[in-house]
A = this chain, B = another copy of it.
Amino acid sequence: MKQHTKSNDLFEDLRRLPVKKVRKAIRNGLYSGHTAGIGLGHLQGNLVILPASYALDFFRFCQRNPKPCPLVGVSDTGDPMMRTLGSDIDIRTDIPLYNVYRDGNLTDQAQDISDLWQNDYVAFALGCSFSFEEALMAEGIRLDHIEANKTVAMYCTSLNTKPAGPFVGPVVCSMRPMLPTDAIRACAITSRYPHAHGEPVHLGDGKEIGIKNISKPDWGDTPIFEDGQIPVFWACGVTPQAAIQTAKPPVCITHAPGSMLITDIPSWETVSV
């Protein structure tokens, strides 16, 4: 618990620091928490590291499913530096916390994967919802889960991804309750963020996309609907993790949920003009 308190203190410090200093603190093992609200104004990304023998199929999986898997950067084979996402981003150390999967099962967590890095690894960075949530709040749309400091509700759906090699699985959606007037504006605003899942994939009755009970999300906290709010569903970055668990590569390293890669890319550069 002490660790957690220290982490929270540091979180407030990190919020005030420029991204290069934030990444340096993370690289030095000082912070293993979530990155929401840190490095504001900069693109953050989900991480998937795979051996090169799986990279071409995973690339195809992302190309075929751009809403859940919007690629924002891909490393050279064996090169741990994410050169197109900033200067001096070392993907082995610059994420607060990593998940290590072996044969599709989560086996370890680590703050540093330098020991695990291999010459045939390829790192994929995928856009995440932080960018569009920032934009929604800037436009005055309130997000209940953020105000309540909870995790957004996420659901397995009956929508299917387009498969690529061993990568296949359902589209996982995040859901935000909104009044119809806000939902309309949220559709317009998020459509400008194709690198952060873009516009919603569904709104209204969750049953139409296979969600039996909206009060029982598969991940995240139970959502609370205020009078008149309807569910609005966006494709979610958990989708590739589900596909990886099906593909069962011998090894795969991802970020731990919420602990993203903070890039040097200004958020506006990825906004559809």
Contacts and interface: CB of A to CB of B under 8 A. Distances in A.
A273 B191 contact: yes
B74 A63 contact: yes
A117 interface: no
A191 B191 CA distance: 13
Interface in A66-104: 71, 73-74, 76-77, 84
Contacts of A165: 76
Interface of A: 52, 55-56, 59-60, 63-64, 71, 73-74, 76-77, 84, 122, 162, 164-165, 187, 191-192, 194, 199, 272-273
Taken together, the copies of this chain in the complex come to 2
A273 B59 contact: no
A56 B71 contact: no
Given A56-B55, A60-B76, A76-B165, A272 B84 contact: no
Contacts of A122: 56
**Dominant SS among interface residues on chain A:** mixed
A71 B63 contact: yes
A2 to B, nearest CB: 42
B199 A273 contact: yes
B52 A56 contact: yes
Contacts of A52: 56
Nearest to A56: B56
Contacts of A194: 194, 272
A251 B128 CA distance: 38
Contact of A59 (B56, B162, B192, B199): B56
Nearest to A273: B191
Contacts of A273: 187, 191, 199
Nearest to A164: B76
A256 to B, nearest CB: 25
A98 to B, nearest CB: 23
